[in-house]
Structures are given as C-alpha cells and as structure tokens.
Structure 1
Amino acid sequence: MDRLKILRIIILVIFIILISRAAYLQIINGDYFFRLSEGNRISVRPINAPRGKIIDSQGKVIVSNRLTYNLYLMQNEIPPGVSAEDILEDLSEISGIDSQRLIGNYRNTDAKSLVEPILLARHLSKEEMVVIVENNDLLPGIIVQEASLRDYIYPENLVHTTGYIGEISRNELISFNELGYNYKAGDFVGKSGLERQYEFYLAGQAGAEQIEVDNRGQKKQTLGIRKPIAGNDLTLNINFDLQQSVEEILKESFDRLRIEAEEDDERTKPTSAAAIVMDVNSGAVLAISSIPNYNLNLFAKGISNSEFQELSNNPLRPMLDRTVMSDYPPGSIFKLITGAAAMEELGVRADTSFYDPSGRFYLPNWSRPFRNWLDRGEGQLDFVRAMARSNNIVFYELGHELYKEYRGDKLAEYARKFGLDEKTGIDLPSEKTGVVPDDQWKREKFNEPWYPGDAVNLSIGQSNLLTTPLQIVQMFSVFANEGLLYKPQLVDKITSPEGEIIAEFEPVIKADLRSEISPSTFSALKQGLYDVVNQSYGTASHHFINFPIEVAGKTGTAQTSVALTNHAWFGGFAPYEDPEIAVVVLLENGGSSSFSVPIARDIIAHYFGVNQEDE
C-alpha cells in the first residue's frame, strides 16, 4: 500500500513539473519562441544595389558595374541538429573555397539576428557559382546571390581622380551610420578620389527578398520584395578623350626622360609628373593626371595584402596624387605674384627700367650673392622683358624693396589673394593647403624673424614656399581672365538612375580681384607671359616656334633640398587674346623647365586640334 502511494506521489510530481514547464514555455516565454519559430520559417535574403556610374562630359561611361555573385550563409535556414561549421566544411570540399576563409568570415560576423545574412565570400568565379548552385540540396543555409562588381572600364586612366573602393572599416562603419546611413560590415565604400568624395551619392540602397522556407531550409514562396535602389550617377567636366591624350603625352615624356637620365650623369630621373587643363572661365577641370599610377581593377574585388604592400612600398609612390596631395616650391612661376605686388604697391610699370650688371644681387651687409640662372649680367631691361627672361636679379630687387616697405607680409598677402596657402576646394579628398611663409609663420615655425634674405628668396618662388599643381593652374586662370578666382570643379552634375538631376554645380567665384588689382597690372603681366613664349628671348620660345595658337606662359625651375635636383614647371593659358584654358605641367625632380614646356605644348596642341607635323 505504501509503495502504491509513493508511486502516485511521484507521478503527480512529474505531472506538475510537465504542466509547469508547458506553462513556462507557452505563457511566460511564448512570444519569444513564437518569434524564434517564425525566424526559422521566414528568411530575408539580400538584393545588392548597383553603385552609381561615373560619366565624362561627352556621355562616355568611365566607371560602371558588372554582374557578379556573392556567397551567404542564412543561419535560420540551417536544419535542427546541423552545425554551421559542418556545412561550411562541406561547402569547402564541394566548391574548393578555403574552409578557413569561410569559417573565419562566419565567426567574425557581427550579425545581430538569425535572419541576417552572413557574407562568406564575394565575387565567386563562374565555376564556383555553378558547382554551389548544383549542390544546393547538400548545403542548407547556403545561398548564392547576384551582386554588382565595380567595373573600371579604363582602369589605368583618370586613376587618382576616380579613386577606388574597398571594404568598409570599423571607424567608417561607425561614423557613416552616426550620420544616419545604413552601412553594414562587409560593405564596399569609396576609399579615395571621387569614389570617396561622393560616396553617399554613389552608394545605392540594398533591397531584400522575404521568403518562406520549409524545415530543410528550401524556399517555398516569396512573401515580399523590397527593391534595391541604384546609386546616383556622376557626370564630370572631364573630357575623356582629352584626358587620355594628356595621360599619354605625360607618360611617354616621363618614361623617355627617365631613360635619357640613365644615360646622362648630369641629369636626374623625374620621380613623378602631373598635368592639369582647366577652363579659365568657369573652373571646370577638363583633364587632370598624376603619374605614376596603378590599375584600379586591383581594388574592385578587394585587393590582396601582398598587392597593396607592393603598391605602398613602391619608391615612386604610385598611389599619391601629385595634383592635390603633394606640394612643391613653384620657382620662377611665383614671379607673377611678385610682379603683381610690386606693380600695385611699389609703383612699378611695364616699362620700368632695371639694370643687371653681373647676374648677381647683393643685400646690404651680406657677403653672399644671390645669383641669376644665367651666369652673367643682362644689362638694361624693362619689367616686361625681365618677366620674359625670368631674370632673377630684377625680382630679387623687387622682393627686397617689398621687404623694406612691408617686411614679410605684403608678398605673402598677394600670394594668398591668388589662392595660394589654402585649399582650392576642388571636389577631391586629401587636398593639401601648401605653405606661404611670412614673418608670423617663420616665428611660429622656427622662432626666428623674417630676414631680407627670406624675402629675396620668396620673390623667385623659394624660401619654404610650397604649392600644389592645382593651385598653380588656378592662379594662371586668374591672370588669363584678369581677376576672377574660380573654384576648380570636377563634377558637373549628379543624376538619379532615372535621369532626374539631384545636384548641379554652377561655377563658383571664390574671389574677384578686379577691384584690388588694376587692369594695367594684369595687362603688363600678361604681356610678359606672352613674350616668354613668343619672343625670341623668351625662356619658352624655342618650343613654340611656328605654333599656330598664341600661348602665354611661364617656366619655373624650383630648387629642392637635394643637391642638383630641381622640379620643372610650366604654366600658361591659351589663346592669348581670348583665353579658354589654363595648363600646368610639373615634373617632380625633373631637372629643368625645358623638359616640361614640350609636354604643355603637346597638350595645348591636342586641345586645339593642331597637327604639329604640319608646323
């Protein structure tokens, strides 16, 4: 009898435990397990959105997208009792994709729910895609989805300006999403150039497909689709035909000069080159190039560490955009600024006479002379001829006079009027400001005052002065149009995939110098630039003999900190009477401006359709 009672008590206790457990599951945690069962029944699969295209001013597509396939793991489609890592091992055996790569991507995911897809691999080969799809029944939870691969149609043109994309970093993920965007780990974003500058316009919005799956993870039906939204397109001011020609001219000259330097002990190899063509009446950038460069398609699929290290460790630094990310002393090109300051502040005129007795200039109480580039005196010459001859002695004298009158401030003030010592504002990231030294700068930097020798050196574009090629072409455009400082602009407009204009960029005048600098100053300086190119005594005239377009310009050979190594510049505009374009060419460590002038001439010839064989 006691045994029967004990058995009844045990059965009652078990029954109470079962009832309690059922109540706990259904009443207390019922909502949780309902949501879990729904997660196992409903799956959300990603639909990638194509990135916006980049198009030139003539409608030529420069950057687009092409079809590719990405590999995902859907955790809520994995049947009970099966581990994700076992499936990934099977996937590796079937596809040949490295299992450590797959498992590593799975473990490193930051997926916040079972229904969120985990990206295992991008850009499957056609063979990988086919074999995975064919073995879909053996790989529950594994899906292959169409995606877009960035297609740099001309991967070695407009490289630094276009820029490249790469996987989003943790810092970018946090900062972008704090701005209200919805990026996820594994997304590709712009890392440099226009791709970075216009990231939030170019990036599309991913879509999703909600489906019902059975207990084996197989799709039963589509419940709903949120369509992806393609990114917006950029239409540039760049003329791509001109761009390609500029790059071809620049690269051919750069390579030839390096080969020639190997055979001549007195010459140095240029280490890079840059060229820019800009509309002087709007600031529109028509062509812009920096070499050496690299192949953009290295980055489209995600560059390997070894490939990235090879680019990063290249001594010629091909990833550096010399047009905006490097600054250099401009040398004699700066004489335009010295001339403008002297004419406005010292009363110098076009016919003001100067005398160079020996090719040497001495400061009072200084024993070391400042030398002209020509090792002899040029005698009597007026201001315009001094500009055409690029006579250092005249500009030393002007720099010293400005120092005596204004110390280290006035020349720097005029440099800043023409856009030096600040970013141009071009629509590119990582632009340098350059340096215009003055008394305050030198005291802060070196705890020293501004000496007369500093002013004399600055007058010919030396003395810690640094400028970017873009600042120089912007400066030439001001002389070409006689007073308007335009912001350089690469993108003309942004349009939706349907063609609706999202943004349109009108010319921006950053400064109007016509009220500060007289027409006679501009006229004299322009005449000097004309004579540089067109008079027999001009420093660039040899290269423009019988050239059918009247060009105005200035040579510049800028000393560096390395002995016997100079940067070679030429800047100018054309046509002289009614300017359309400003052009600048820089050869980093190029030795002499005589090597940069022919490059600029060939670029101008191409722009105006000049057949140089017929000259």
Structure 2
Amino acid sequence: MKFKHADPLSGKREQADFDTYLKQSFTRRIMLVAVLVLAGVIGLFSRMFFLQVRKYDYYRTRAQSNRVRIKPLIPERGTIYDCNGIALTENILRYQVVVNPTQTGNLTELLKAFSDLLPLTEEEIADFIKRYKAARRYESVVLKDSISEDEHYRLAVKLYQLPGVAIEPYYERYYPHGVLTAHVVGYTNRINEKDLQSISPDDYRGIQFIGRTGIERQYEDKLRGKPGYQQVETDANGNLVRLLNEFPAERGQDIYLALDLNLQRFIYDILDDYRGSSVVINPQNGEVLAMVSKPGFDTNLFTRGISQRQYQNLLDDPHGPLYDRALKGRYPPGSVIKPMMYLAGLYYNVVDSSTRVHCGGAYRIPESKSNRVFHCWNRRGHGSLNGDEAVTQSCDIYFYSLGYHLGIDKMAEYCRHFSIGVPTGVDLPNEDSGIMPTREWKEKRYKTNWYIGDTINASIGQGFLTTTPLQLAYMTALIARNGKRFTPHLLKRVYDPTQMTFLSVSNHDNGYLSIYNEADWRLAQRIMEHVIHHKTGTAKGIAKGLRYRMAGKSGTVQVISFKTDKRVPGHQLAKEHQDNAMFIAYAPAEAPKIAVSMVVERGGGGSSTAAPLVRKITDFYLLGQTEKDNDQLV
C-alpha cells in the first residue's frame, strides 16, 4: 500500500499566508485606534476652541460674576426752590447700615450680633426682614439709617465680625420750612413693595426714596436723577480689591416754583388760630403764588420714617393737619359764586342788565305745590334790585329767581367752563374736582330724582354744590383776565445740572373761553368792584385806606341746618357751629396782578373775617405792607 506524503513547500505557503493575515489585521486595528484617537483629539480641540474662542465672552462674564460686583451710585435728588430762589428742600448727608444678602450667613445670628452693638426695635427688625426677603439679588438692604457719629464709630471697628454688613452714605431729604409748605411741596419716603411693582429697576437702582406727595411726587421723574454704578472686584469674603470701572450718577434736576415763600408764610401767619385755606394766582399767566392749607404738619416725620403712634396722632387730630384743604377741601362756595351765576344768566339771556327782581325776604317756587320757603339772608328784604345791586348786596332772592329760570342743566354746563365740578389741571397729584350736581349725578349718588329746590340751593352756592379753594381762585382769575383760559401751575422753570442750563417749560395759555362776551364780563367786573367800593357793598369795610381798586365777593356758608323760619346770629353759636367765611378778590381791578380765594372754617361772616384777611394779602403782595401796617382791618 502506498502512502501520499505532504508537500513541504505547501506548508510553508500556508504559514506565510497566515503571517500576512496577522500583519494586515494588526495594521487595520492600529489604524482604527489611530483614527479613534485622532477623532478624540479633534473633538477635544474643537470643544476647547468652542469654549475658549467662540464662547469666550460668555464664560469670561460668568467667571467674573464670581468676583466682580456692580455697586450702585445713588444720585443726589434735585432741589425745589421758590420763585425767589429760596430752597424749599435740602439734601443732608447721612450714614446708614446696609446688608448684602449674597454675603450674609445666618440672618438670625447676624441680627443678634448687630443688636448687641446697636439696639434695634421689633418694628425695625420686622421691617428689615420684610424688605430683605423682597430685595433683588446683589441689592443691599438698609438695616438702620441715620446713624450717629458715635454709632458709626462703634460699628466700624466691629464690621469684620459682621459678614455682609457695610456702612454707606446717603442723602436724607430735609424740609426747612416745615408746616408752611407741607401740602404743596409734599415729601419723600422709602420705596415700598407696592412701588417696586410699578417702577423701573434700572431707573431706581440703589435709590431708596421716592416722591410721595405734592411737588415731590408730581415731578419725581425730574427730581430723582439718574443712578450710576461702579464695577468693583472683590475677594471671596466680599472685600473690595480694586475699582474696575465707574459710571457716575447724574444729579436730579432742580425745580423752581412760582410759589412765593414769603407770601406763603404771611398768609399762614395771618390765619392765626383759624383752620382754612387760601390760594393766590397770578391772573396774567396762571402761576400759583401761594397755596396755603392750615394746619399743616412736619413733613420731615415721613421722610425719616414716621412711627405708627406718630401717624395715628396725626390721623386722630380733630383739626385735620394731613388734609390738604387747598387742593381737596370741598366747601359749598356760597355767595362768592354769584358773579359767575350772573354771567350765566346773561349768557343764556335769562336776565339782562336791566332785569329787576323784588326781594321781600322770602321766595316760593312758582307753581309749586310745596309750601317750602327759601329765605334771603336779609329777612326784611332788599326791595327791587337789578343784577348789579343783587350781587353788590348779595341778595339771595334775585339768584333764586335766576336759578329757577336758568335750570340746573345750563347752570352746570356754564360752571364747568370755570372748572367747577372738574379739576383745574394744576400740576399736583390727586386734585379734587368738587361737585357740580346734575340730575344724573344725584340719580347715581342718591338713587333719587332731582328737585327744583336742589336748583334753587345751587344758585346761591349751597346744597350739593362744592368747590375747592383752588377752583375758587381759578374762577376769580378767569373773571379778572376777561375769560382768557390758562392752566394754573406751580412749575416756573427747570434747571438741568448736567447741561448747566435752564430748560423751557410749556406755555399754559389756552385761548379764550367760548362763553366770553366782553360787555357782559366788563359788567361783572364792575359789579365786583362795587362789592368793595360802593356804599351798599357787603365788603365795603375793607375799602378804608385802600390805595388801589379791588374787585371781590364775599360769602357766608352755614355748616349746620336751621328751620326755614329761624336763624341764630353767628355770635350766639358755639365755635364748631359757626359759618364758614369765604372771600374772593383780584387786584388792582384795572390791571390784575393777583387773584385770591380765602376759606376760613367756622370763621363767621365772609365780609367780617375772610375779606379783611384777603385785603391784608393784596396789600402785602402789591404794596409790601406787613400785618402790622394794616392791623386795623380786623
């Protein structure tokens, strides 16, 4: 049997093929690994390029946020001046303790440690915690303001023990003239949670106070200024390392008012113990020269942070010092409205200059089934009077008749031209419109019909009809100015410290009233002169020694009701039951420079109390006479 032997050459070939396969396989694996490594390196470098080049600014900013802080720079608030450049506000540099929430550890421990150095009341702590929780990130929160020099020193040497606590300067608003300008200038106080919902964070960055009332609120945008800021580098503990950049704050604009502080003080002083209000307007341009509401209050209490007890005392004060009588006081105008009512009668041809009405002391509504009688203040009657005589002697019966024929609709339409029942538009917040009653108004307010008796009452400025002292001064100025319209205003000019120049303010002239009739208005002006200068005028008593012609009208308004057949003399009434005394006037009559309204609460007669006060005001303004110079008038 033959055996087949293996070919040795064939085995060598197989071995060579296997070796080749191994080499190729290894090479492929090496190449695969190399490709993977290369891909990883490329991916890594791509990511590094993306992070370090493409996203450089983003991550640089994020990195810096760990060590760069934005520190607000608070602008100094603009100053308010009177027309003579007398400062009505001041900014006093104070120091306050602030807490940075991002650097504070345990708040309870911090407050305890702080209280060991400077005692805090429970009210202060509660208020701080409330503001602390509402604070924006990186925004410091005031813990205690207006610290003394001694408190400043005691705290400064211990600050290292109080992380996140710092002492910072700030400006505190101060009102040097106290009660004199309380209502018109207003006050600032701390921004609260409600404010934060409406103000712009950028506009108020770091600012802690906001105008709350009066001019401070009306011109908040001009007065507050523009915040600046510093970019500062800090260490891990929040300590300042260096200043990186600074954008200075811009001081607020200065406001110059038409208000004359000397006149304001004079009026406040002559009111003495009376409660009341007086408004003075320049009829030529509508500038408000004085706006007095007495009593006033110390506005500095609110800026510093009034306590609950202090605030409650002001609220409980029976004299109402917080009540802005000039802007919001609703008073029945009484007879001071008669010149305007007479103009309405002339305009609608209800009466003319020769129309006469007999006054027998009582008036009954024609064709009325009611037995109600409307009396004249002169129960004996004035006899037959025309319009001139009726206004001069303030006859009620004439105006009952005029009102009856005029009707409430025309009466209301005409009165609105004088801003009776509508705001004057003065540059102060929350002006009251008073009440010009109408059928619709009564239906809405009292759910009842309008009666002719309501019209009769309105015709002599009583009943539902109410006006503010500002509206009465505006009405007087319009008559003095021959119906040329204007918007009463306090703003005279604005100074911008950044531009170092005075800025222009808008023109407040608005043309003539559509109801103006020269002949009628000249007649009304002449009649108002007769009130003072004619022997039968109700205010003839103030004409003694008068060195210029003056036009005016008195009013006496009941504050309690009497039966129609009874009337108690004012001197027999208790003080709280006496009439309100009213007077309006302008002077000089031929070229008016000043229009005045005066309301004296519980003052008695308009001619006996309010008129002499107005005479003192016009003498002071036109002649420079002081109270002592014409003291014989009262």
Provide the C-alpha distance between the structure 1 equivalents of 2:130 and 2:291, rounded to a whole number of angstroms: 44
Residues 288-327 of structure 1 aligned to structure 2 (within 5 Å): 288-327=291-330
Residues 66-145 of structure 1 aligned to structure 2 (within 5 Å): 66-77=92-103, 83-97=106-120, 101=124, 105-106=128-129, 108-109=131-132, 110-113=134-137, 115-145=138-168
Which residue number corresponds to residue 48 of structure 1? 74
Provide the C-alpha distance between the structure 2 equivalents of 1:393 and 1:98, rounded to a whole number of angstroms: 65
1:554-599 CA distances to partner (integer Å, 9 max, x unpaired)? 0011233556543221001000111111000001333321211111
Query: Residue 221 of structure 1: SS of its match in structure 2?
Result: strand
Provide the C-alpha distance between the structure 2 equivalents of 1:440 and 1:70, rounded to a whole number of angstroms: 55
Residues 347-366 of structure 1 aligned to structure 2 (within 5 Å): 348-356=351-359, 358-364=360-366, 365=368, 366=370
Which residue number corresponds to residue 283 of structure 2? 280
1:236-283 CA distances to partner (integer Å, 9 max, x unpaired)? 111222222122122x1xx1x5xxxxxxxxxxxxxx300011010111
Which residue number corresponds to residue 214 of structure 2? 193
User: 1:386 aligned to 2:390?
Assistant: yes
Answer with 1 or 2: which has the greater Rg.
Answer: 2
Which residue number corresponds to residue 377 of structure 2? 373
1:25-79 CA distances to partner (integer Å, 9 max, x unpaired)? xx9xxx999988755533443432211110111112111201011211235556x
Alignment RMSD (CA, Å): 2.7
Moved more, 67-76 or 485-494: 67-76
Which residue number corresponds to residue 533 of structure 2? 534
Residues 17-36 of structure 1 aligned to structure 2 (within 5 Å): none
Give the TM-score normalised by the residue count of structure 1. Answer: 0.84
Moved more, 445-454 or 603-612: 445-454
Identity in percent: 30
Task: Report if aligned partners of 1:43, 1:76 keep a CA contact under 8 Å in 2.
Answer: no
Deviation at 1:441, TM superposition (A): 2.7
Query: Residue 457 of structure 2: SS of its match in structure 1?
Result: helix
Deviation at 1:104, TM superposition (A): 6.1
Q: Which runs of 5+ in 2 are unaligned?
A: 1-50, 52-56, 563-576
Letter in 2 for 1:131: R
Provide the C-alpha distance between the structure 1 equivalents of 2:60 and 2:112, rounded to a whole number of angstroms: 31
Provide the C-alpha distance between the structure 2 equivalents of 1:100 and 1:464, rounded to a whole number of angstroms: 45
Which residue number corresponds to residue 591 of structure 1? 604
Provide the C-alpha distance between the structure 2 equivalents of 1:65 and 1:96, rounded to a whole number of angstroms: 27
Residues 479-494 of structure 1 aligned to structure 2 (within 5 Å): 479-494=479-494
- Given the superposition, is the C-alpha separation of residues 124 and 210 from structure 1 closer, same or farther in structure 2, using an over 3 Å criterion? farther
> Which residue of 148, 159, 179 corresponds with 2:182?
159
Provide the C-alpha distance between the structure 1 equivalents of 2:161 and 2:519, rounded to a whole number of angstroms: 84
Task: Report if aligned partners of 2:226, 2:249 keep a CA contact under 8 Å in 1.
Answer: yes
Which residue number corresponds to residue 613 of structure 1? 629
User: 1:212 aligned to 2:233?
Assistant: yes
User: 1:508 aligned to 2:529?
Assistant: no
Q: Which runs of 5+ in 1 are unaligned?
A: 1-26, 258-271
Deviation at 1:138, TM superposition (A): 3.2
Letter in 2 for 1:601: R
Provide the C-alpha distance between the structure 2 equivalents of 1:420 and 1:107, rounded to a whole number of angstroms: 45
Provide the C-alpha distance between the structure 1 equivalents of 2:449 and 2:417, rounded to a whole number of angstroms: 23
Letter in 1 for 2:295: P
Which residue number corresponds to residue 399 of structure 1? 403
Which residue number corresponds to residue 550 of structure 2? 551
Letter in 2 for 1:413: E
Provide the C-alpha distance between the structure 1 equivalents of 2:186 and 2:218, rounded to a whole number of angstroms: 9
Provide the C-alpha distance between the structure 2 equivalents of 1:172 and 1:192, rounded to a whole number of angstroms: 14
Deviation at 1:392, TM superposition (A): 0.8
Task: Report if aligned partners of 1:418, 1:478 keep a CA contact under 8 Å in 2.
Answer: yes
Deviation at 1:451, TM superposition (A): 3.0
Provide the C-alpha distance between the structure 1 equivalents of 2:480 and 2:468, rounded to a whole number of angstroms: 19
Which residue number corresponds to residue 263 of structure 1? none
Give the TM-score normalised by the residue count of structure 2. Answer: 0.82
Query: Residue 492 of structure 2: SS of its match in structure 1?
Result: strand
Letter in 1 for 2:204: Y
Deviation at 1:411, TM superposition (A): 1.4
Deviation at 1:217, TM superposition (A): 4.0
Task: Report if aligned partners of 1:337, 1:411 keep a CA contact under 8 Å in 2.
Answer: no
Letter in 2 for 1:65: N
- Given the superposition, is the C-alpha separation of residues 561 and 505 from structure 1 closer, same or farther in structure 2, using an over 3 Å criterion? farther
1:348-382 CA distances to partner (integer Å, 9 max, x unpaired)? 333433322x2111223442221111120222333
Provide the C-alpha distance between the structure 1 equivalents of 2:582 and 2:269, rounded to a whole number of angstroms: 18
Which residue number corresponds to residue 429 of structure 2? 429
Deviation at 1:286, TM superposition (A): 0.6
Deviation at 1:464, TM superposition (A): 0.6
Query: Residue 536 of structure 2: SS of its match in structure 1?
Result: coil
Task: Report if aligned partners of 1:46, 1:145 keep a CA contact under 8 Å in 2.
Answer: no
Moved more, 556-565 or 449-458: 556-565
Which residue number corresponds to residue 197 of structure 2? 174
Task: Report if aligned partners of 1:39, 1:76 keep a CA contact under 8 Å in 2.
Answer: no
Provide the C-alpha distance between the structure 1 equivalents of 2:131 and 2:454, rounded to a whole number of angstroms: 57
Query: Residue 542 of structure 2: SS of its match in structure 1?
Result: helix
User: 1:231 aligned to 2:220?
Assistant: no
Deviation at 1:340, TM superposition (A): 0.8
Letter in 2 for 1:579: P
Which residue number corresponds to residue 262 of structure 1? none
Task: Report if aligned partners of 2:402, 2:459 keep a CA contact under 8 Å in 1.
Answer: yes
1:6-40 CA distances to partner (integer Å, 9 max, x unpaired)? xxxxxxxxxxxxxxxxxxxxx9xxx9999887555
Query: Residue 89 of structure 2: SS of its match in structure 1?
Result: strand
Task: Report if aligned partners of 1:47, 1:147 keep a CA contact under 8 Å in 2.
Answer: no
Provide the C-alpha distance between the structure 2 equivalents of 1:107 and 1:445, rounded to a whole number of angstroms: 41
Deviation at 1:206, TM superposition (A): 2.9
Task: Report if aligned partners of 1:70, 1:146 keep a CA contact under 8 Å in 2.
Answer: yes
Deviation at 1:420, TM superposition (A): 1.0
Which residue number corresponds to residue 48 of structure 2? none
User: 1:469 aligned to 2:469?
Assistant: yes
Deviation at 1:223, TM superposition (A): 2.0
Provide the C-alpha distance between the structure 2 equivalents of 1:98 and 1:560, rounded to a whole number of angstroms: 45
Which residue number corresponds to residue 14 of structure 1? none
Task: Report if aligned partners of 1:43, 1:77 keep a CA contact under 8 Å in 2.
Answer: no
Which residue number corresponds to residue 19 of structure 1? none
Letter in 1 for 2:438: D
Letter in 2 for 1:477: A
> Which residue of 90, 97, 104 corresponds with 1:64?
90
Provide the C-alpha distance between the structure 2 equivalents of 1:130 and 1:210, rounded to a whole number of angstroms: 27
- Given the superposition, is the C-alpha separation of residues 373 and 112 from structure 1 closer, same or farther in structure 2, using an over 3 Å criterion? closer
Provide the C-alpha distance between the structure 2 equivalents of 1:90 and 1:223, rounded to a whole number of angstroms: 33
Provide the C-alpha distance between the structure 1 equivalents of 2:203 and 2:69, rounded to a whole number of angstroms: 20
Task: Report if aligned partners of 1:474, 1:485 keep a CA contact under 8 Å in 2.
Answer: no
Task: Report if aligned partners of 2:258, 2:289 keep a CA contact under 8 Å in 1.
Answer: yes
Task: Report if aligned partners of 2:213, 2:429 keep a CA contact under 8 Å in 1.
Answer: yes
1:295-327 CA distances to partner (integer Å, 9 max, x unpaired)? 111122121221111112222221111111121
